[in-house]
Amino acid sequence: MWVPWAKPVDPKEQVRKWKTDLRAEGRKLERQVRHIQTEELKVKKSIKDAAKRGDMASAKVLAKELVRSRKVVNRLQISKVQLNSVVMQMQENFAQAKVMGHMQKSAEIMRVMNGLVKLPEIAASMQSLQMEMVKAGVIEDLVDDAMENDESELEDEAEEEVEKVLAEITSDLFEKAGSTPLARVVAPAQAQVTQEAEEEDDSEVLAMQARLESLKAS
């Protein structure tokens, strides 16, 4: 029995929708990267301020957050490239569909989509797109693999990497002070920090960490 609402989706319209959705997700990642990088500028300033007053403990905590955020930015930028890769694969698939009369399964699209659905920032929309592609026969229904957890990697930054970031940001302070350790560069009057001021500095560090975490989670 013919059912009017069961009309197959036009491959051209389907591919156009997917490309639009994928590009929208790419723009979302770009905004996320810009937001994190803007916050990183504030973190760098806070690291330098902490180093100037000899508070290397706070500087190190912030440097670790900077290492984490840079890894997140790198992951988002790689994902943006992968989104563009899927768009190109879709264009090629549609070109073949004009000849074959239907969309072909693509192992490459399936591989990339399998990675994108694990990206927290766009997981929900990628899962929805993945389901549409399965229904259209472009990819196979994927086994629900265990989610890869980047947090363990991000929580285990190498000490060397953190120290490298500290050196990168505070290098000009070392140059001005020669070989004198940063803790000794601080003027005696500045070094006499009150307990109230120290608590205020700790609050600033915690606030900066919270802003970075909210950006990475949004």
Q: What's the pLDDT tens digit per position in 65-87?
A: 999 999 999 999 999 999 999 99
SS3 147: coil
For range 144-169, the mean pLDDT? 66
The CA distance from 79 to 75, in Å, is 6
Separation between Cα atoms, residue 7 and residue 203, nearest integer Å = 60
pLDDT band with cut points at 50, 70 and 90 for residue 98? confident
Q: What is the Cα–Cα distance from 216 to 178, expressed in whole angstroms?
A: 37
In whole angstroms, give the CA distance from residue 73 to residue 177.
33
Full-model pTM: 0.71
Q: What pLDDT band is residue 171 in, cutting at 50, 70 and 90?
A: confident
Of 25-34, 92-101, 106-115, highest mean pLDDT: 25-34
Residue 96: band (very low, low, confident or very high) from pLDDT cuts 50, 70, 90: confident
Angstrom distances, CA of residue 102 to CA of 6, 11, 58, 94: 17, 7, 60, 8
The DSSP-derived string for 116-146 is: HTT-GGGHHHHHHHHHHHHHHTSSPPPP-PP
> Which pLDDT score is estimated for 193?
44
Overall average pLDDT of the 38-45 stretch: 92
The average pLDDT across 15-43 equals: 93
Amino acid at 211: R
The answer on pLDDT for 156 being more than 90 is no
Residue 204 DSSP SS3: helix
pLDDT for residue 146: 46
**Of 143 and 121, the one with more pLDDT:** 121
| Structure-model confidence comparison of residues 160 and 190, the more confident one | 160
Nearest in space to 52 (alpha carbons), one of 218, 203, 189: 189
Q: Is the pLDDT of residue 168 over 80?
A: yes
